[in-house]
Amino acid sequence: MFITRFAPSPTGYLHRGHAFSALTAHEAARAAGGRFVLRIEDIDATRSRPEFETAVYEDLSWLGLAWDVPVRRQSEHLDDYHASLAALATSGLIYRCFRTRKDIAEDIGRAPHGAMDAWRGAALPAEEEAQRLAAGEPYAWRLSLDAAETALGGRPLTFREEGHGPNGEHGLITADPALGGDVVLARKDVGVAYHLAVVVDDALQGVTHVIRGQDLFEATHVQRLLQALLDLPTPIYRHHRLLTGADGKRFAKRDKAQTLRDLRAHGVTPEALRREMGFD
């Protein structure tokens, strides 16, 4: 059974880029006689808002999409993520990191060829960690690439790309988790971070094909690693091109891209929008 998903975060209103991604996944599921799953990725409690979630349903319905119910809302399944985090901790694959982004940036600045995303650290000595915990210092749970590489014993990890990565990547690809460094999997004030939640969700929802934008291609590498460490299945990936505006920049919430609600208010029909994006 072909199962794919669209997984927006309710931190703003959907725009053309979201519509293109949702339509791409929905049409792929329909062509395969499969299922289209909607997931609300609302683990960022500080930015997620009910009105944005309501708008997701309204906008997708306006586009003519239908999805399986019930919809999975990440905020209702924190126990699933905590269980996976505990499994990684038991295996010695994660550690508490008390360094701030500024601290890490300074470390990178002192390294001759460092990159922010490729930063690696290590657990503190037990006594120092206990003192910092007692003092109530904030920390993040980071995945230890060194421990993960040891656990894998040099076994290469691959994933299949049926679309194209930003540099034309296609076919069977060897994952390179080091691209992301020791990624954050959870913070003290937020129970789980994106990478961990998404692999757990995809496994629990039986997702066979992950269809998403090329901006998330690099994330696939560390997610493939987490799938291996947690003994989760690996979906087939299809990364698609990103829509851009007249200025050549991709549509993004942070740039206040015109929303689907705005388009609807200005009389744009879903049929016209679908034709504009190549979905006749």
The domain 1-76+244-280: what is its CATH number? 3.40.50.620
Instruction: Find where tokens 């990624």 sit.
Output: 183
Work out the pLDDT band at 187, boundaries 50, 70, 90: confident
Residue 139: its pLDDT value, please?
92
Task: Name which of 29-43, 122-136, 253-267 the model is least confident about.
Answer: 253-267
Mean of pLDDT values over 228-256: 81
So what's the pLDDT on residue 164? 97
pLDDT at 247: 64
SS (H, E, C) 216-250: HCCHHHHHHHHHHHCCCCCCEEEEECCCECCCCCE
Q: Which CATH superfamily is domain 78-203 in?
A: Glutamyl-tRNA Synthetase; Domain 3 (3.90.800.10)
Question: How does the average pLDDT of the chain come out, rounded?
Answer: 91
Average pLDDT value for residue range 1-26: 96
**How high is the pLDDT of residue 100?**
79
DSSP category for residue 188: S
- Tell me what pLDDT residue 177 has: 92
Interval 197-241: pLDDT, tens:
999 999 999 999 999 999 999 999 999 999 999 999 999 999 999
What pLDDT score does 110 carry? 61
Domain assignments of the chain as residue spans, ordered by start: 1-76+244-280, 78-203
pLDDT, tens digit (0-9, with 9 covering 90-100), for 82-126: 999 999 999 999 999 998 777 777 766 665 554 544 678 888 999
What does the pLDDT read at residue 81?
Answer: 96
**Residues 38-53: what's their mean pLDDT?**
94
Encode burial over 151-189: b for 16+ CB neighbours within 10 A, e otherwise. Answer: beeeeebebebebbbeeeeeeebebebbebbbbbbbeee
The reported pTM is 0.92
pLDDT score at 259: 92
Above 90 in pLDDT, residue 189? no
pLDDT reported for residue 103: 77
- Which residue blocks in the chain are alpha helix, DSSP H? 16-31, 50-62, 78-90, 101-110, 126-134, 145-152, 194-204, 219-229, 260-265, 270-276
